[in-house]
Amino acid sequence: MHLSAIILLLTAACLSAAEPVMLDFNRYMEGKYLFERNCIVCHGPRGDGKGEMAPTLSPRPRSFREGMFKFRTTPSGALPTEDDLRHTIKHGLTGTAMGMFAQLSDEDVTNVIEYVKSFSRRWRKAENYAEPLTFPEPPAWLEDAKQKATHAEKGRALFVTNCSACHGPAADGNGVVVPTLKDIWEQPARPSDLRQPHLRCGDRPQDIYRVLATGLNGTPMASFEGVLTPEQRWDIIAWIFTQKLPDVPTLGNAPPREVVKK
Ligand code: HEC
Ligand code: HEC
Q: Considering every ligand atom, which ligand is closest to the CA of 80?
A: 1
57 lines ligand 1 (CB under 6 A): yes
In this prediction, residues 233-237 reach a mean pLDDT of 98
How many domains, the chain? 2
Same domain for 180 and 122? no
189 CA from centroid of ligand 2 (Å): 10
Q: What is the pLDDT of residues 190-200, one digit of tens each?
A: 999 999 999 99
Q: What's the whole-model pTM score?
A: 0.91
4 CA from centroid of ligand 2 (Å): 53
> What is the structure's pLDDT at 13?
46
181 CA from centroid of ligand 2 (Å): 11
The span from the CA of 54 to the CA of 60, in Å, is 6
What is the residue range of 63's domain? 20-128
In this prediction, residues 64-72 reach a mean pLDDT of 98
199 lines ligand 2 (CB under 6 A): yes
User: Residue 135: inside a domain, yes or no?
Assistant: no
Same domain for 204 and 146? yes
Q: What is the pLDDT of residues 208-228, one digit of tens each?
A: 999 999 999 999 999 999 999
| For residue 73, pLDDT beyond 80 | yes
Q: Any idea what the Cα angle at residue 52 is, between residues 46 and 56, rounded to 5°?
A: 125
Q: 190: exposed, middle or buried (C-beta count within 10 Å: 0-12, 13-18, 19+)?
A: middle
Same domain for 180 and 107? no
167 lines ligand 2 (CB under 6 A): yes
Query: CATH no. for residue 116?
Result: 1.10.760.10
* Ligand 2: residue whose CA is nearest its atom 35: 163
In terms of Cα–Cα distance, which of 235, 241, 244, 239 is closest to 139? 235
Contact 85, 116 (CB under 8 A): yes
Q: What is the pLDDT of residues 117-153, one digit of tens each?
A: 999 999 999 999 999 999 999 999 999 999 999 999 9
In this prediction, residues 26-49 reach a mean pLDDT of 97
Q: Considering every ligand atom, which ligand is closest to the CA of 88?
A: 1
| For residue 114, pLDDT beyond 90 | yes
Q: How confident is the model at residue 256 (pLDDT cuts 50, 70, 90)?
A: low
In terms of Cα–Cα distance, which of 93, 77, 86 is closest to 184? 77
Same domain for 167 and 82? no
Is the Cα torsion angle 150, 152, 158, 160 positive or negative in sign?
Answer: negative
Same domain for 178 and 119? no
Same domain for 206 and 171? yes
